[in-house]
Amino acid sequence: MPPASPIATIRAAHTTDLPAITAIYAHHVLHGCASFEIDPPSTEDMTRRMDALRARDYPYLVAEQDGALIGYAYAGPYHPRVAYRDTVEDSIYLAPEAAGRGVGTALLGALIAECTARGYRQMMALVGDSANTPSIRLHQRHGFRTVGTLQSVGYKHGRWLDVVLLQRALGSGDRTPPRQALNPKDPDMPRPPPATATLPGLDLQSCMRDRVLGPGAMLLAGRARATATELVALIEAIARSAPFRRMSTPGGRMMSVAMTNCGALGWVSDSRGYRYMSRDPLTDLPWPAIPAAFASLAGQAAAEAGYPDFMPDACLINRYEPGTRLTLHQDRNEHDFSQPIVSVSLGLPARFLWGGLARTDPVQRIPLDHGDIAVWGGATRLAHHGIHPLAEGTNALTGRTRLNLTFRRAA
């Protein structure tokens, strides 16, 4: 028998998955406290439940490995009253053999992305049993905060059970009204269409590396990998019009990293200081436009991290070779600090230096792999960050180089 594949795929659920879903849920009903049901529902019952959720366009996902379904997750209404319409509640169940392998992390990350794309603004988690620390910590790693505990509200397996309430904002949360104004005469008014019609396959090894870096800051692992070949080809085309160059600091020190730009504005540095310019000082021509594929990727990543409607007008492109680095710095040359930074890593792996608002704050060293995207804003918008000296290596797409796209709203 061949060894099991280390990769699991997260995809939308099909009706053919229901027997496996029913079996997984039955195990938790009979042996666990995550569900407060006592008697396992039938496949017909689970079919009706899935149909009801999908009829209202709630996401329903499964994790599949080597042809076997090993977990599932879905979002549903937090409360039936109409004013709760922008809040969802998550549910995640794993096959016993999938516990501790990052499958829950991958499912929850994908579920958050799908709910954000559909325009929901808050996600609630009701964790049965306050001793269920794996589920509580899973949600906390994805930005949930504990907002309360319902004490001894359930009795199962011979003991009283608490319910821990956790909450996470989606998209812009409560900073803006919903995309569609509420019509009290039409409580079943359809939601805006999701940003993506179908959920692309997500590999487990990438999604399990998703992490919250700080308030308003996330690492979205592997999100650019599927389009990396197109992105690199577009970078090469941009560099033919606006060549890579090594800029100097205002103090006269030559930077080790080569840079260029695309967009309405380009970031430059020389003896006159750090600033944005609408024309390339090397050619006196406007910077190349931001390609549609760049803008789409930046917008999707920003939305997943909680910053919807991000429209960058500047993209700094850095080219690293082994030994080059970027020292700790803040992005302070933009006019609107309410807009996030979206940073896309391509090619050789790197170590991302992630500090605090003060240069003397402790610094984390976070591994960045090909296709990873870091997004930060809000309370961490002015966090110090940089890149540790790049190690020797070769990437099949970029050779001995690492490319980085930094999207900003400069004007």
Domains annotated for the chain, with CATH where assigned, are 9-204 (3.40.630.30), 225-408 (2.60.120.590)
Q: What percent of the chain has pLDDT over 70?
A: 91
DSSP state of 226: G
Please classify residue 91 by burial: count the beta carbons closer than 10 Å to its beta carbon, then call 0-12 exposed, 13-18 middle and 19+ buried: middle
Q: Looking at 38-42, 136-140, 150-154, 194-198, which range is the least confident one?
A: 194-198
Mean residue pLDDT of the chain comes to: 89
Strand partners, 72: 62, 93
- pLDDT, average across residues 140-169: 94
Instruction: Tell me the pLDDT tens digit for each residue of 174-218.
Output: 888 886 544 444 444 444 444 333 334 445 555 556 777 888 888
Instruction: Tell me the pLDDT tens digit for each residue of 294-320.
Output: 999 999 899 888 888 899 999 999 999
SS3 351: strand
Quick one: pLDDT at residue 274? 95
SS3 392: coil
Quick one: pLDDT at residue 63? 92
CA distance 42 to 13: 18
Instruction: Tell me the pLDDT tens digit for each residue of 72-95.
Output: 999 999 998 989 999 999 999 999
Quick one: pLDDT at residue 7? 54
Q: Looking at 68-72, 118-122, 160-164, 384-388, which range is the least confident one?
A: 118-122
Cα–Cα nearest to 241, from 222, 266, 216: 266
- pLDDT, average across residues 44-67: 91
More confident residue, 254 or 141: 254
CA distance 98 to 85: 32
Q: What is the pTM of this model?
A: 0.60
Q: What percent of the chain has pLDDT over 90?
A: 73
Please classify residue 27 by burial: count the beta carbons closer than 10 Å to its beta carbon, then call 0-12 exposed, 13-18 middle and 19+ buried: middle
SS3 146: strand
Quick one: pLDDT at residue 5? 41
CA distance 42 to 245: 65
Identity at 237, one-letter amino acid code? A
Quick one: pLDDT at residue 248? 94
Cα-based distances in Å from 237 to 277, 289, 397: 20, 11, 15
Q: Are strands 87-94 and 122-128 parallel, antiparallel or unpaired?
A: parallel
